Structure 1
Amino acid sequence: MEFFPWAVTAAILLVGCWVQTALGFGMAVIAAPVVVMVEPEWVPVVLTITALNLSLLNSWNQRTAIEMHQLRIPFITRIPGTILGTWLLLQLNAFWLQIFVASTVLLAVLISFKGPQFQYTPARLGVAAFVSGITGTTTSIGGPPMALVMQHGAPMTVRANLSVFFVYSCALSLIGYWLADILTLELLLVSLTFVPFCLLGFFTGKQARPYVDAGRFRPLLLVICGFAGAFALVGTLSRA
């Protein structure tokens, strides 16, 4: 393991964990485009393990705001999304897969920005969870579909529900990686070295929640999703 890729990954994971703790999602959105350039084999497994650790911390910290009844259908529809995502990860050309994911995120942001306000229902969350299963398993970026559907909810509740969903999602994705022989002991050990940065991002990110909740939740959500989609699209096209 070379120091430079590790140091860059540690730094960007720290930033990503800080953002996800403050906003509710965003770790993989921020980290994946950088990590895939410095150490491609760490995507998506190392990011998924880090996301699992962070989501466990956030779920426990915000346990009083969790609405489990909203997550029953998403928990079910995430399973076929994970299966399809694992198959795509093994079968499809990475270039077109990344183009599809980036374009989908950008389209969702555009629709959310221009479209009318709507309530997030179990059915809408179920569709988002299926898409999240595909994008999360293939690229580790599974937050935007769920976050975009939840964008008009109360920030505290959205953060709590996303955290629980991410715990479940990451566990499913890791099972898929294991069955597909993508999850290795080496990647597990590498992931452990990033735990201190995950913890630091969590404890400092909690302090930023009042700032995010003061009328900035939805704008920040849309900006981060838009940034992720644009960065991934430009990065993929530049490597073509």
Structure 2
Amino acid sequence: MHMMTALATWLIDGHWLWIGLIIFAGACLQGLSGVGLGMVASPVLAVLNPELVPGPLLMISFVLAVMSVLRERGALDTGGLGYALAGRLVASIPAALLMGMLPVRALAIAFSLTILLAIAVSLLRVPLRPRPGTLFAAGCLSGVMGTLTSVGLPPIALVYQSVPPAQLRASIGGFLAIGTLISIGALSWVGRFGMHEIVLGLAMLAPLLLGFSVSGRLHALVSARRMRGIVLGVSALSAIVLLLRQLTV
């Protein structure tokens, strides 16, 4: 009863409108480019309602990822995803266990700088490719980043940036679907994900579904070249926001 009362109070709070708009925009961007929800929503939700990060945001990210895979399942890179997911599994559990012990601020700064460096390398016409070693390393970095900050997609997005748009969206969706389950399981194991987080996640589903629906109507407008620009731009923005958030704490 206390949980439902708290939820009702939160829903009628003025922040809910902004939260809904952010979730809608992030879901639309991710449905279009494969990335965006965690990157757009995580820093804003952390300010508006810290309870929504990481657990509830990971939950709705899972729902969005499953829908992305189902919509373009024929383009899914099943072989490469195994290496990326192995890296995510290897890194997520230690990250959850060490949550509260690790210098999260220093790690977040290091993550941001690593992503910006990878983007710079890509802009120098040395794009990363979805090879086994690269995918495993990106999966490890994603596991730590995703578990600690809810922003785990940039490493995987950068590796897949040069593939056709449908393959990019489906492959990132497949990685995110299983990867978020791994992170949610790890958080649940250490007592950081339960019924309270599930209820908060359910409250954010409506704008998520609407944003994903709108994105499907925009696919024909985005070329492969433009898609790569969106991926690099969103990844850079997320890294900069994460960096500034840590430097101003």
Deviations 1:45-83 (A, max 9, x none): 111001001011111111111121121222222111111
* RMSD between aligned residues: 1.5
Matched, 1:99 2:109: yes
Distance 2:106 2:51 in 1: 18
Distance 2:94 2:29 in 1: 28
Q: Please state how far the C-alpha of 1:115 moved relative to its aligned partner.
A: 4.4
For 2:62, the equivalent position in structure 1 comes to 52
For 1:90, the equivalent position in structure 2 comes to 100
For 1:139, the equivalent position in structure 2 comes to 149
Matched, 1:181 2:191: yes
Matched, 1:70 2:80: yes
Distance 1:216 1:232 in 2: 24
Check conservation: 1:88, 1:138, Cα contact below 8 A: no
Q: Secondary structure at the match of 1:182?
A: coil
Q: Please state how far the C-alpha of 1:112 moved relative to its aligned partner.
A: 1.8
Distance 1:232 1:75 in 2: 24
Which of 186, 194, 207 is equivalent to 1:197? 207
Q: What is the letter of the counterpart of residue 72 of structure 2?
A: Q
Distance 1:198 1:30, change over 3 A: same
Q: What is the letter of the counterpart of residue 169 of structure 1?
A: G
Q: Secondary structure at the match of 2:61?
A: helix
* TM-score, normalization by structure 1: 0.94
Q: What is the letter of the counterpart of residue 62 of structure 2?
A: L
For 1:79, the equivalent position in structure 2 comes to 89
For 2:177, the equivalent position in structure 1 comes to 167
Q: Secondary structure at the match of 2:14?
A: helix
For 1:37, the equivalent position in structure 2 comes to 47
Distance 1:165 1:138 in 2: 17
* TM-score, normalization by structure 2: 0.91
Q: Which runs of 5+ in 1 are unaligned?
A: none
Which of 134, 158, 162 is equivalent to 2:168? 158
Distance 1:100 1:88, change over 3 A: farther
Distance 2:50 2:108 in 1: 13
Deviations 1:11-42 (A, max 9, x none): 11111000000001111001111111111222
Q: Please state how far the C-alpha of 1:213 moved relative to its aligned partner.
A: 2.5
Q: What is the letter of the counterpart of residue 169 of structure 2?
A: R
Deviations 1:167-207 (A, max 9, x none): 00011011001001000211110110111111101100111
Q: What is the letter of the counterpart of residue 123 of structure 1?
A: G
Moved over 6 A (4+): none
Distance 1:158 1:178 in 2: 29
Deviations 1:127-148 (A, max 9, x none): 1111111111111111100010
Check conservation: 1:52, 1:166, Cα contact below 8 A: yes
| Count of equivalent residues | 239
Between the aligned residues of both structures, percent identity stands at: 26
Distance 1:214 1:93, change over 3 A: closer
Distance 1:187 1:119, change over 3 A: closer
For 2:26, the equivalent position in structure 1 comes to 16
